[in-house]
Amino acid sequence: MTLTEYLTWFDEVVGPTERMMRMVPPDRLDWKLTDKSFTLGQLLAHISRSLWFNAQVFKGGELPAKNIREILVGNRRQVSATVEEAVSQLASNSALFKETVAGLGEERFQRELIDSPQRGRVPAWRLAAFTLEHHIHHLMELHLCLKVLGIKVHTGTLYSASESPS
């Protein structure tokens, strides 16, 4: 996959996220699917913040977590966000992530090795793919939560940023 193809894929995967976030009822932000799950507010914050976190990994910046164990422990203390906060953070963090990855250029995207707390030392393209895999997993978690709450969502909700909820 080329860098240009990846950036197009990124837009396709992340595109429906705002619409799904806006479907979360503000009075249900403290609701959680299971006792060990994120609350909906925490899930919204996590989805948005993970794009910032992975941009920092690409930049080699200072990270709030140095390894997968620290990430998992930190996730237990994930702050909550309102729908509007999460949507705003999603916009800025997705732009930051795309700018960071695009700034690598094709050669570095294909060949540079990145030290990541999640996957160890991996090619940049693999960390970029992991970032979208992570996003997809949590987007599906949000989709399932909305279904359980009785909010009308369907497969198209997961894959289309422009389709209006019916």
Predicted pLDDT at 73: 67
Alpha carbon distance 117, 126 (integer Å)? 13
Q: What is the pLDDT of residue 166?
A: 46
**Tokens 């992991």 — which residue?**
130
Q: Do the Cβ atoms of 100 and 8 come closer than 8 Å?
A: no
The 8 Å CB, 24+ separation contacts for 50-54 are: 50/131, 50/134, 50/135, 50/138, 51/14, 51/90, 51/93, 51/94, 51/96, 51/97, 51/131, 51/135, 52/89, 52/93, 52/96, 52/97, 54/97, 54/127, 54/130, 54/131, 54/134
Mean of the pLDDT values across residues 87-95? 98
Indicate the average pLDDT of the chain.
91
Question: For residue 62, with 0-12 CB atoms within 10 Å meaning exposed, 13-18 middle and 19 or more buried, which class applies?
Answer: exposed
Query: In percent, how much of the chain has pLDDT > 90?
Result: 76
Domain ranges of the chain: 3-159
Q: What is the pLDDT of residue 21?
A: 97
Query: pTM value?
Result: 0.90
- Residue-level pLDDT at 64: 73
Distance CA 49, CA 56 (A): 11
| Mean local confidence (pLDDT), 94-114 | 97
pLDDT bucket at 152, cuts 50 / 70 / 90: very high
Please say whether the beta carbons of 24 and 44 come within 8 A: yes
- pLDDT tens digit sequence for 28-86: 999 999 998 999 999 999 999 999 999 999 998 777 777 767 776 676 777 899 999 99
pLDDT, tens digit, for every residue of 10-28? Answer: 999 999 999 999 999 999 9
In this model, does residue 163 exceed pLDDT 70? Answer: no
Band (pLDDT 50/70/90 cuts) for residue 156 is confident
Per CATH, is 3-159 categorized as 3.40.50.2000? no
164 band by pLDDT with thresholds 50, 70 and 90: low
